[in-house]
Amino acid sequence: MPSNIPAASGEGGGVRSVQRAFDILSLLTEDRRSLTIREVVDETGLAKTTALRLLQTLEHLGLLWATPNGFAAGPALWRWAHLARTAWELPPETVQLMRELGARHRETVNLYVPRDTHRVCIAQQESPQPLRHVVRVGDELPLWAGASSKVLLIEAPERLLVRVARSSPYGEAHVPTLRAWIGQAAHDGYAASHGEREPGLSAVAVPVARGTGPVAALTLSGPTVRFTEERVREFAADLREAAKRMSERGFDHPLT
């Protein structure tokens, strides 16, 4: 049965058409709820006729909806959003633990899982303070620095450490530093970072275990000025207790 999405010419054209359709959908944000044809053409570089065909196809499939102001998110996305939410949503007990951590310490609480040479934020409890660290759920951050990276890489194979180092600004020479960080994190049961990836940003992380190795990293992060040695020790102790409870109930997530 032929696809409703127009295929692009050349090798792998069908894949390009899917990518183009996704690029159009990705233009929708919380701040921009609808798209005009002109905006799609200007921001994707597509020819107007190609953009219009893709928009019409997405509308036909219910992924977009034509309104007087342009094309908005369509009703078919509700079903996909529901499926994604049920698959990726964390257990209520885990969410409650993160809320309690955030309420006690007034810093941002994040939960990361590893994905190749990156870590993905799968949950966040935002700090109520005006000066705070915020990462969007779904954001991918590098594994070559940061407190959560140090605990996520515990027991990582050497070949992964090499690939992570090569993705860093320091190249493969970064491997010994990674080994030292990981060894310290494994010994202490937690890791801290101060300005390693972003100046003025600090974090404390502990592993959430499944079996003998880490499957996720639970973190508190915020401005370095608030992460004194005493506070870091306090954060680490509370994070360890919360991570232990998560591990005991059985941590599960599609990326793990």
Instruction: Please state the φ and ψ torsions of residue 114, each to the nearest 5 degrees.
Output: -80, 145
Q: Token pair of 75, please? A: 């009703």
Run of H or E including 109: strand 108-115
Does the pTM surpass 0.95? The reply is no
Top pLDDT among 131 and 193 is at: 193
Percent of the chain residues past pLDDT 70, beyond the cut: 90
Q: Token pair of 153, please? A: 């890489």
3-state SS class at 107:
coil
Sheet of 64-67: strand order equals 34-35, 70-73, 64-67
> Are 111 and 90 spatial neighbours (Cβ–Cβ below 8 Å)?
yes
Encode pLDDT of 70-118 as tens digits. Answer: 999 999 988 888 777 776 678 888 889 999 999 999 999 999 999 999 9
Q: Token pair of 197, please? A: 């990836």
Encode pLDDT of 188-212 as tens digits. Answer: 999 999 999 899 999 999 999 876 6
* Token pair 């499939």 in the structure block, residue: 61
Q: Which amino acid is at 70?
A: G
DSSP state of 7: P
Question: CA distances (Å), 61 to each of 21, 55, 82, in order?
Answer: 12, 10, 17
What value, to the nearest 5°, has the Cα angle with vertex 212 and ends 243 and 91? 35
Encode pLDDT of 36-45 as tens digits. Answer: 999 999 999 9
> Are 249 and 218 spatial neighbours (Cβ–Cβ below 8 Å)?
no
